């Protein structure tokens, strides 16, 4: 009797056989770590006005913007958020020499916390602040946002989070690294993104040679256009099932 391979079997075989896999992740991979998505009925933008991340608005209303930015992106940092099974699987695949890098739209630092080394933070990070005048950078420490807006210790300039605001360009280095990783990939694993935010959403299309596995409870822009296997599931559930199928292949 013929063996019936389901999508998880095929996905696990593709992962096990990949030499240069790359992951492309969005807000969805961090939902089960306690970080809300941006869009969708329970998304951040259903509760906050995204104008606080518009660069022009930020310069015009730095204190108001910072009050909301602190609430959205920093108050939760006290809660010591942990990477989940999906972040951990990608880190294990890197350790096993299968994944060569993670390109993430997320600014939460959870891939690095999971142990991933080669992480391209396409939109920057909330773990660092930067002076808008002298470009001095600061690692975020609790207490830095007690007085708003935070000002630069060197030049007194306005300090902002070191992530990309609407109306702000993507760092050319991040762009180049992301494109190169995808161009050379033989497998692309897309996790938890709508694929709606430009220019990040164009990056997966650079992976012209790669087979594509997508994990998302909802179809995205990639599901029809790019994905070969669509695991319609939450990131942690799909990751645990893939880990189970990859037992014996992955180092612990
Ligand atoms: N597991 C996997 N995916 C999930 C989960 C989950 N548990 N829950 C939700 N998702 C999916 C949703 O179906 C959706 O496709 O995550 C995606 C979240 O969509 P967005 O919030 O739009 O996030 P993303 O596509 O990553 O866009 C984020 O937008 O605001 C900008 O710069 C910001 O990087 C950010 C970008």
List pLDDT tens digits, range 70-91: 999 998 665 678 999 999 999 9
Is 87 known to be catalytic? no
At residue 252, does pLDDT exceed 70?
A: no
* pLDDT > 70 fraction of the chain, expressed in percent and rounded: 95
Any idea which residue has 């559930």 for tokens?
237
The pTM of this model reads 0.95
Is the shortest distance between the CB of 221 and ligand 1 below 6 Å? no
* Cβ proximity of 139 and 128 under 8 Å: yes
Ligand 1 mutation pick, 192, 219, 240, max ligand atoms within 8 A of CB: 192
Which pLDDT tens digit goes with each residue over 84-122?
999 999 999 999 999 999 999 999 999 999 999 999 999
| Secondary element (H or E) of residue 93 | helix 85-95
The whole-number pLDDT of residue 142 equals 86
User: What mean pLDDT value characterizes the chain?
Assistant: 94
Is the shortest distance between the CB of 28 and ligand 1 below 6 Å? yes
Distance 57 CA to ligand 1 centre (A): 24
Cα 204 from chain centroid (whole Å): 13
Any idea which residue has 């696990």 for tokens?
12
Angle at 109 between CA 56 and CA 197, to 5 degrees: 45
- The CA distance from 140 to 156, in Å, is 17
DSSP 8-state code for residue 211 = E
The whole-number pLDDT of residue 167 equals 87
Span 234-242, mean pLDDT?
Answer: 98
Is the shortest distance between the CB of 193 and ligand 1 below 6 Å? yes
- The CA distance from 173 to 160, in Å, is 20
The whole-number pLDDT of residue 3 equals 60
* Nearest residue to 201 via CA among 35, 36, 25: 25
Is the shortest distance between the CB of 39 and ligand 1 below 6 Å? yes
CA 149, 167, 192, 125 torsion: positive or negative? Answer: negative
Q: Are strands 229-231 and 187-191 parallel, antiparallel or unpaired?
A: unpaired
The whole-number pLDDT of residue 42 equals 81
Catalytic residue among 61, 87, 111, 123: 123
Is the shortest distance between the CB of 204 and ligand 1 below 6 Å? no
* Cβ proximity of 90 and 83 under 8 Å: no
Ligand 1 mutation pick, 38, 44, 55, 222, max ligand atoms within 8 A of CB: 38
Which pLDDT tens digit goes with each residue over 173-230?
999 999 999 999 999 999 999 999 999 999 999 999 999 999 999 999 999 999 999 9
């Amino acid at each position: 009797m013929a063996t019936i391979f389901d999508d998880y079997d095929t996905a696990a075989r593709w992962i096990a056989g990949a030499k240069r896999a790359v992951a492309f992740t969005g807000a969805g991979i961090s939902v089960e770590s306690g970080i809300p998505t941006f869009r969708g009925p329970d998304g951040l933008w259903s509760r906050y006005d995204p104008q606080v991340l518009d660069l022009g608005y930020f310069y015009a209303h730095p204190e108001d913007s910072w009050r909301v930015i602190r609430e959205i992106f920093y108050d939760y940092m006290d809660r010591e958020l942990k990477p989940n099974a999906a972040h951990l699987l990608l880190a294990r695949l890197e350790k096993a020499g299968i994944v060569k890098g993670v390109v993430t739209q997320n600014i939460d630092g959870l891939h690095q916390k999971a142990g991933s080394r080669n992480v391209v933070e396409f939109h920057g990070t909330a773990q660092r602040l930067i002076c808008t005048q002298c470009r001095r950078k600061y690692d975020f420490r609790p207490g830095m946002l007690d007085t708003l807006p935070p000002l630069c210790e060197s030049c007194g300039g306005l300090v902002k989070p070191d992530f990309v605001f609407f109306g702000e360009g993507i760092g050319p280095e991040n762009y180049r690294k992301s494109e190169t990783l995808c161009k050379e990939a033989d497998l692309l694993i897309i996790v938890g993104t709508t694929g709606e935010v430009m220019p990040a959403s164009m990056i997966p299309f650079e992976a012209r040679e790669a087979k594509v596995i997508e994990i998302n409870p909802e179809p995205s822009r990639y599901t029809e256009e790019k994905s070969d296997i669509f695991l319609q599931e939450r990131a942690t559930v799909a990751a645990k099932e893939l880990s189970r199928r990859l037992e014996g292949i992955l180092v612990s």
